[in-house]
């Protein structure tokens, strides 16, 4: 399973990146998305054309049109997502659904970056966060930001995998008081 589907028009770069971690695009059967912005979901149509099942969680499908409108302003070759081929699931059902396909993962809505943002909880406290900025990079009075990080702590998050930064360990709440 892949989390996020890259920029539009970058399928070959995406495939090359997978090779650097010992994987190939042919081995990706499923994809989930942290949110529908063009740098996270731009290849969904191309993935589906290759037989990849693309899961969309509640609240995400409503964000597709805005993303595609933005992409189409600059990329006339972009192929729109056939929403009827997306596999829709609720985050509350995600753990059982992922377990049924052999993946230890759970999707959890997170109210921060965009209305459709999800984080993905993996074993041993690993969390894929999408575009939630690391602590210390936002104003200390940003209540939504602080609540998002507290939610991740409450869910047992320890090792954080952001989309646009290096992996880091989440410090205890006491370190941020």
Q: What is the mean pLDDT of residues 66-82?
A: 95
The reported pLDDT for the residue numbered 174 is 41
Beta bridge partners of 109: 118
pLDDT averaged over every residue in the chain: 93
The reported pLDDT for the residue numbered 36 is 97
Nearest to 36 by CA among 15, 13, 8: 8
pLDDT tens figures, 142-164? 899 999 999 999 999 999 999 99
Domain that holds residue 26: 2-176
In this prediction, residue 48 has a pLDDT band, given cuts at 50, 70 and 90, of very high
The residue assigned the tokens 């192929």 is 79
Q: Over pLDDT 90: what percentage of the chain?
A: 86
> Is residue 176 predicted with pLDDT exceeding 60?
no
Q: Alpha carbon 73 to chain centroid distance? A: 24
Domain count, the chain: 1
The reported pLDDT for the residue numbered 139 is 84
Beta bridge partners of 88: 56
Q: Over pLDDT 70: what percentage of the chain?
A: 97
Q: Are strands 118-121 and 159-162 parallel, antiparallel or unpaired?
A: unpaired
Instruction: Please tell me which residue, 176 or 146, carries the higher pLDDT value.
Output: 146
In this prediction, residue 50 has a pLDDT band, given cuts at 50, 70 and 90, of very high
Cα–Cα distances in Å, from 44 out to 24, 132, 134, 140, 142?
A: 16, 21, 27, 36, 32
pLDDT tens figures, 76-110? 999 999 999 999 999 999 999 999 999 999 999 99
**112: CATH:** 3.60.15.10
The reported pLDDT for the residue numbered 172 is 59
Q: Are strands 2-3 and 30-32 parallel, antiparallel or unpaired?
A: parallel
- Cβ pair 128, 119 in contact under 8 A: yes
Q: What is the mean pLDDT of residues 37-42?
A: 97
The reported pLDDT for the residue numbered 135 is 84
């Amino acid at each position: 399973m892949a989390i996020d589907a890259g920029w539009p028009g970058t399928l070959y770069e995406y495939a090359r990146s997978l090779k650097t971690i010992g994987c190939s695009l042919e081995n990706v059967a499923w994809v989930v998305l942290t949110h529908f912005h063009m740098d996270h979901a731009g290849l969904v149509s191309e993935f589906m054309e290759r037989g990849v099942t693309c899961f969309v969680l509640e609240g995400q499908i409503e964000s597709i049109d805005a993303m595609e409108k933005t992409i189409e302003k600059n990329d006339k070759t972009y192929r729109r997502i056939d929403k009827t081929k997306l596999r829709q699931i609720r985050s509350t059902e995600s753990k059982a659904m992922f377990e049924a396909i052999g993946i230890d993962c759970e999707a959890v809505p997170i109210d921060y970056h965009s209305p459709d943002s999800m984080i993905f909880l993996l074993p041993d406290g690993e969390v894929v966060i999408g575009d939630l900025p690391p602590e210390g990079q936002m104003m200390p009075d940003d209540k939504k930001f602080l609540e998002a990080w507290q939610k991740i702590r409450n869910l047992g998050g320890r090792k954080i995998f952001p989309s646009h930064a290096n992996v880091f360990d989440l410090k205890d709440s006491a370190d941020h008081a």
